[in-house]
Amino acid sequence: MKSSGIKVGGIWLGLAAVIGLATFAITTVPVAAQKFNMKIATATPKGNQNVWMDRFKKRVEERSGGKISIKLFPSGQLGTVPRTIEGLQLGTIEAWIGPSGFVKGVEPRYQVLDAPGLFDNMGHAQRSITDPEFRDLYLNVGEPKGVKGITIYASGLIAVVSRKKPIRKVADYKGLKIRVLASDMEVEAMRRLGAAPTPMPLLEVLPSLQTGTIDGVKSALVIFVPFKYWTISKYLTETDEGIIPTVAFVSKLWFDKLPNDLQTIVLEEGRKLDNEMYNFSVGERKFLQKLWVKNGGELIKLPAAEQKLLMSKMATVGATVVAKNAAVKKMYDLLLKVTKKNR
């Protein structure tokens, strides 16, 4: 009677063994052949964050040969910012881009870039935050909490929109309810100006401004123009006491599943976009200034004496806030070091 099976290396394998080998061959996919899906979310409908998403998607898909497939979700399509960041930690959302202060609840050291009065201008800020001594530590500090930074850039300077009256001097802040990020830095800064800091989610801000629940909003042109704040308030004061630090984060759970070659692609393409997106943002800011005025808004600059007064009130905000947490203070001290080095 003939044996049922095949001969491999001089050894007859039974039919069951043959079937087992075939099943293993079919179901086992080499790591190199695996494909990975990536959802990238942001709250903004258009602007530099959206441009980052477009460029990152194109380059990573091309360079990975389609092994990473990316879908983009702007305008808060995947939920509020806190829920999106939670999704990063859980691995249900693979990437998010926005101001790093939003991630302060995950890792408090991310708030150091919200400190006012540190930078001479956007260029000085960009050189400082992309200095390898600071950049690499800052972007990776959230890894134990499930988030990993891959891109960082200064996307704008701080400005304030006010509804009832324009802010033309520091005294005009007194008594105003100003929306800020849920950041100790921003809360402390507004208190020093005599305003009432009012943290709230981004998507609630416009309705609250319209109904008078708040009197103004601290943010930047990159937020005010895409969301058409001029329909509610025409007064925009460019106070320039700090930057909007934009960071692209990926889920650490998702990133760790990638083979080494794909991890390298994600990190390298992210880093390439640091200065590229800063340069884009500089041009974007000039365009947004013109667009604000074109749509009936007033662009206000504080007189030199008032700007000096504002900056003097902001000078020790960072040191005061970070003194409460040794780890945050250590990150802040490193930031001070690179700001001095890059002047």
Question: What is the C-alpha separation between 295 and 150, in angstroms, rounded?
Answer: 35
Per DSSP (E only), the strands in 216-320 are 216-219, 235-251, 298-301
Side chain identity at residue 304, one-letter code: A
**Are 96 and 246 contacting, i.e. CB atoms less than 8 angstroms apart?**
no
Domains belonging to the chain, first-starting first, are 34-341 (3.40.190.170)
The per-residue pLDDT for 337 is 98
Q: Is the dihedral of CA 267, 270, 274, 275 positive or negative?
A: positive
Query: Tokens 């005010």, residue?
Result: 224
Question: What is the C-alpha separation between 102 and 203, in angstroms, rounded?
Answer: 13
Q: Could you count the other beta carbons within 10 Å of the beta carbon of residue 34?
A: 12
pTM of the model: 0.87
**DSSP H or E stretch at residue 330:** helix 326-341
The per-residue pLDDT for 12 is 45
* Residue pLDDT tens, the chain, 343 long: 444 444 434 444 454 444 444 444 444 555 557 999 999 999 999 999 999 999 999 999 999 999 999 999 999 999 999 999 999 999 999 999 999 989 999 999 999 999 999 999 999 999 999 999 999 999 999 999 999 999 999 999 999 999 989 999 999 999 999 999 888 999 999 999 999 999 998 889 999 999 999 999 999 999 999 999 999 999 999 999 999 999 999 999 999 999 999 999 999 999 999 999 999 999 999 999 999 999 999 999 999 999 999 999 999 999 999 999 999 999 999 999 999 999 9
CA end-to-end span of the chain:
88
How many helices (H) and strands (E) the chain has is answered by 13, 11
The per-residue pLDDT for 32 is 58
* Phi, psi for 50 (deg, rounded to 5): -70, -35
DSSP 144: G
The per-residue pLDDT for 106 is 96
**Are 217 and 160 contacting, i.e. CB atoms less than 8 angstroms apart?**
yes
The per-residue pLDDT for 203 is 81
**Are 215 and 164 contacting, i.e. CB atoms less than 8 angstroms apart?**
yes
The residue among 124, 191, 163 whose CA lies nearest residue 335 is: 124
The per-residue pLDDT for 13 is 43
Per DSSP (E only), the strands in the chain are 5-8, 11-14, 36-41, 68-73, 95-99, 147-162, 177-180, 196-199, 216-219, 235-251, 298-301
The per-residue pLDDT for 201 is 84
Question: What is the C-alpha separation between 20 and 62, in angstroms, rounded?
Answer: 37
The residue among 98, 195, 109, 189 whose CA lies nearest residue 144 is: 109
